[in-house]
Amino acid sequence: MNGKNNMAIGFLTMGLFMAYGFLLIYLRDVAPDKEEWINSFGVGKHYEVLLAHVHGNLFAFLNILIGYLLLRFNDKLNHIKAISWLALIGLLMPIGILTKVYLGLPPILVPIGAIAMTVSVLWLGFAFFKLK
């Protein structure tokens, strides 16, 4: 794992969360109960699905960027595999929000994903500081 999977999974995840965004637009603008959807903006499940949409796209983009940088600097950076895996695990954060909202599962995936993504970004930042 040297970044290629981060880019591929990042693009696929971004595409899925973009499609999910179209569903959210439908619910807001076209669906028969759109008034109820609009009135619930910023609270409860509505707020959580917006968080999942935004973080899903952000974390997908971060995987694309991290994957590119890992590929580009493959021979100059250390711990590429760990950084790559942590960035991919980070995608559990928005997935955890959706499984909480739609399946009623405990939100344990949210902090796991958030911590993993944060660690991967910080680790890569420190790796670039050490780059000669």
Q: Which of 75, 78, 64 is nearest to 4 (CA)?
A: 64
Cβ count near 21 (within 10 Å): 15
Cβ count near 122 (within 10 Å): 12
| pLDDT for the residue numbered 28 | 74
**pLDDT band at residue 29 using 50, 70 and 90 as cut-offs:** confident
Residue 107 has pLDDT above 90, yes or no: yes
Cβ-contact 121, 62 below 8 angstroms: yes
Residue 100 has pLDDT above 80, yes or no: yes
**pLDDT band at residue 42 using 50, 70 and 90 as cut-offs:** low
Q: Which of 49, 14, 52 is nearest to 28 (CA)?
A: 49
What mean pLDDT do residues 21-46 have? 77
The residue that leads in pLDDT, 72 or 23, is 72
The structure's pTM equals 0.89
Residue 5 has pLDDT above 90, yes or no: yes
| DSSP-assigned letters across all residues of 2-55 | -SHHHHHHHHHHHHHHHHHHHHHHHHHHTSTTHHHHHHTTTSHHHHHHHHHHHH
| pLDDT for the residue numbered 44 | 73
**Degrees, nearest 5: CA angle 35-36-39:** 85
